[in-house]
Structure 1
């Protein structure tokens, strides 16, 4: 018998997505004593994430859900879900993250262990700032962005909606990374990146373009 989800418990967090990424978010929440109300996933083959049973989401949940975090690594899927669900959202911030009091992190975003966010930076909704990433002063991280582990963004970098900056990439100051662009692992970005571009190497070079639905 599946556990029942109490939608009215505003002091708890519900995770949507039973993935490896979800395991990291569970660890963050548990480290701060935050209660996990449920973990939802519509894959019938998944029954448990760590020690939590997985609950199938219902139409009622989609219509009225509270304190949700999308524990899904795919930027497009997070955007699709946020567009169709009537939810309020929580954030998950690891206690070892260093976030300037002069910066802002918006709802639905997850900040992993060892992340540094320096002053006058804004991080949008439903972003992933992964382990050990450094976001310098005056950066703008738009909604649904994924900044991978050990990425370094210098000052005044703008990362537009849905972009994915790969493992260990470095971006010099003042650069704009276009919406839904992909920066390859270890790339060094020395000039602006167009929307949907896929950039790899040192220095970074465009090798192709993503489609709007990739």
Structure 2
């Protein structure tokens, strides 16, 4: 990649994203974050320049710089992606750790975060703007929608469908053929053996709906 990267967000996965770009010999120009207390500080000598909606920095994106959205909060992540699409006419780039594996037969969208030792199997389709944390395993023929988050060490078995905005906790196991509905949440360490409805929260082994 010839152009340097501006990372939107300076918390959560931002530090890990910097490490990923460094490992791939991609220059990070700086961070943009809404927390004004961070402005003027640095992460590993890379400066936090200002606010993500500062036009002075945004105008660099698409011309002199690429962009990556390093924000864990899904609503704000979606807002920033839409802002980049609408105002700069660009899609965020992927941040893929050098130790992760993406099958040559897999398809992956834009703006995804794949941390160390993530494994994407043959025939799987990953949407855009997803977060796959360290050691997550996505087996073959899995379909993952946009803005999905998968925790460290989670195992997504063959043929699973995960719809837009779903959250899979660390160490969770999703058995083959299950569908996880839009914006559903799977608790850490859960074993999911049947379909999960849209907006539903489940946890446990076997996973059951959370009752308030």
Please say whether Structure 1 and Structure 2 have the same fold, judged by a TM-score greater than 0.5: yes
Could you report, residue by residue, the CA deviation over 1:12-47 in whole angstroms, capped at 9, with x for unpaired residues?
A: 111100013111111111011101122111211112
Distance 1:179-1:157 versus aligned 2 partners, 3 A rule:
same
**Alignment partner of 1:33 is 2:25:** yes
| Length, aligned pairs only | 201
How many angstroms apart in 2 are the aligned matches of 1:151 and 1:96? 17
Three-state SS of the structure 2 residue aligned to 1:199 is strand
State the TM-score, normalized to the length of structure 1.
0.88
Three-state SS of the structure 2 residue aligned to 1:65 is coil
Three-state SS of the structure 2 residue aligned to 1:88 is coil
Three-state SS of the structure 2 residue aligned to 1:55 is strand
Counting only pairs closer than 5 Å after superposition, residues 26-65 of structure 1 correspond to structure 2 as 26-46=18-38, 47-57=41-51, 58-62=54-58, 65=61
How many angstroms apart in 2 are the aligned matches of 1:89 and 1:19? 17
Could you report, residue by residue, the CA deviation over 1:64-119 in whole angstroms, capped at 9, with x for unpaired residues?
A: 73321111112222112212333332111111111100001111001110011110
Cα deviation for residue 60 of structure 1 reads: 4.9
The residue that corresponds to 1:85 in the other structure is 84
Three-state SS of the structure 2 residue aligned to 1:186 is coil
State the TM-score, normalized to the length of structure 2.
0.89
Name whichever of 41-50 and 189-198 sits farther off: 41-50
RMSD: 1.8
Counterpart selection for 2:206 from 190, 203, 206: 203
Distance 1:52-1:181 versus aligned 2 partners, 3 A rule:
same
How many angstroms apart in 2 are the aligned matches of 1:32 and 1:63? 25
Counting only pairs closer than 5 Å after superposition, residues 1-214 of structure 1 correspond to structure 2 as 11-46=3-38, 47-57=41-51, 58-62=54-58, 65-66=61-62, 67-86=66-85, 87-208=90-211
The residue that corresponds to 1:5 in the other structure is none
Any gaps of 5 or more consecutive residues in structure 1? 1-8, 210-214
Query: Which of structure 1's runs of 4+ aligned residues deviate more than 4 A?
Result: 60-64
